[in-house]
Amino acid sequence: MAELNSNKPEVISTFKPYDNAEREFNRINYFCTYNGRLFNILMSPNAPLTFLPGYDFTNSIESQYLTRLEAVHVRYPSNKTEEEENNSIEVEEEIKEHVLNASRSMMHTLAPEMAQSDSSLYSAMYPETFSLQVITQQGKLAAVKRDDLSVFDFHTPITDPRVSDIHLPCHQASEIRILAQLFAATYKVQLANGQIMCAKLAESR
Instruction: Read off the pTM.
Output: 0.77
Strand 28-34 relative to strand 10-15, pairing: antiparallel
* pLDDT tens-digit map of 120-145: 888 888 888 999 999 998 889 999 99
CB-based burial label for 61 (10 Å; 0-12, 13-18, 19+) = buried
pLDDT of residue 196: 94
In this structure, which amino acid lies at residue 23? R
pLDDT averaged over 10-residue windows placed end to end, the chain, 205 residues? 53 61 67 90 76 76 89 69 86 93 94 83 87 90 88 75 81 88 87 89 63
For residue 61, CA distances in Å to 8, 43, 94, 141 come to 23, 10, 13, 7
pLDDT of residue 22: 47
Q: How many residues does the chain have?
A: 205
**What's the count of helices (H) and strands (E) in the chain, helices before strands?**
4, 8
Bridge partners of residue 41, in order along the sequence: 30, 132
Q: State how far the Cα of 121 lies from the Cα of 35, in Å rounded to an integer.
A: 17
